[in-house]
Amino acid sequence: MIDFRYHLVSLIAVFLALAIGVILGAGPLKEAIGDQLTGQVSQLREDKQALRDELDRTLHNAAGTDEFLRQSATDLIGGTLAERRIVLIATGAVDSAANDAVAQSVEEAGGEIVGRIGLLESWYSSELSDARQSYAASLSDYLSPATASGTYDQVLGRALALAFSGSADPLGEGFSAEADLVRDILISGDLIQVIAEPVVPADAYILVEPTLEVSADPLLDNPDAALLREQSSVLAQTADSLARSSEATVVVGFDESDGTVISAIRNSDAVAATVSTVTGSDTVVGQFSTVLALSEQMTRHVGHYGVMGSEPQFPRGARLSSPQRDWMTALGSEPSSQQSSTANTSGDETGAEAESSDDADAGDEDSTDDTADDPADAGNTQTP
């Protein structure tokens, strides 16, 4: 049994140790400890200032590079989209500045933005897939027989191409009645939002992807990540359908992280063979690359570019001849009698005409088979 003397000795030992610590801290160790802490704080402040100065220099250099590129735009990208009509499509809540920057690059390349639209949540939400399937069944009646089959998300993508590229004449001077009707259906169905009214039928499309706010880590059981992958799969089908029904389609975004549309496209051999992608949408390099990639695709080269990967790659672009737009009359269910067999600047078939060999499983209604399309043979062929 522990007696009172044991407790007394313990208390004395504790207070003795405390007293020794106070004496040493206030005496011989005071300056050493204080100097050490002061030195560490000073070093941390110096490191912080050095990092801040380095960041300022980097931002200043980047701003200078961007300004130089903008001033050199005519020499770098001028004429690469000569006479081409482009529709910008936002695949989510894209910052208007990002859209404006891409639009500026298109105009500097000699192209024209003839419309801006946004794809609403009902376009890609899994919870609204039944509604999309119903709209697709109705809209398929307005498509040419060669493009009216496939999954309902593929049909909606082709309907979108008809709405903004369908023409009543082989010169593409005005929209066909079917294009106007399909566009009204898409708008009234809350599938798309028209930001800038289309002026004339479009030759090509640029899809601008917003920066993801949710980390889509495939190693984590993250319901948001799974949802993003499912939605991006639908949007990848949309891009594929647009590419097959137009001269070219490019998707541009911040990076290719899991859950992005760019990731979904690059991970699908079929879609990657028809749709070009570019990362670095927030940089002038990325915006110029978008224009050059679109130009390249119009000359039968599909590629995937950007500055965000470990091995940056950049498109070369191409000088284009005057556009041929007789393919626009073939998008609807009642093609013009003046339609010819050419589709793009290289004299190849249009994506709409080449669709007859795609989607052999026309009865497949499951939109999650997102990348089941065959590679496009309509002027959008992957170059080794």
Provide the residue-wise pLDDT of the chain in tens; the chain has 384 residues. Answer: 567 777 777 888 888 888 777 776 666 655 666 667 777 888 888 888 888 888 888 877 777 776 767 777 677 888 899 999 999 999 988 778 888 999 999 999 999 999 999 999 999 998 898 999 999 999 999 998 877 778 899 999 999 999 999 998 999 999 999 999 999 999 999 999 999 999 999 999 999 998 765 444 444 455 577 888 899 999 999 999 999 999 999 999 988 888 899 999 999 999 999 999 999 888 888 899 999 999 999 998 999 998 766 556 888 888 888 899 999 999 987 654 333 333 343 334 444 333 433 443 433 434 444 433 443 343 343 332
Residue (of 159, 160, 177) closest to 168 by Cα position: 177
pLDDT at site 54: 85
Q: Which amino acid is at 333?
A: S
Tell me the C-alpha distance between 332 and 201, whole Å. Answer: 13
C-alpha dihedral (154, 122, 192, 262), degrees to nearest 10: -60
Strand partners, 276: 250
User: What is the CATH code for 79-357?
Assistant: 3.40.50.2300
Residue (of 289, 280, 272, 292) closest to 380 by Cα position: 272
Tell me the C-alpha distance between 306 and 291, whole Å. Answer: 12
pLDDT at site 185: 95
pLDDT at site 31: 62
Tell me the C-alpha distance between 228 and 314, whole Å. Answer: 27
C-beta of residue 343 within 8 angstroms of C-beta of residue 324: yes
Tell me the C-alpha distance between 9 and 3, whole Å. Answer: 11
pLDDT at site 126: 86
pLDDT at site 148: 75
pLDDT at site 181: 95
pLDDT at site 263: 93
pLDDT at site 352: 38
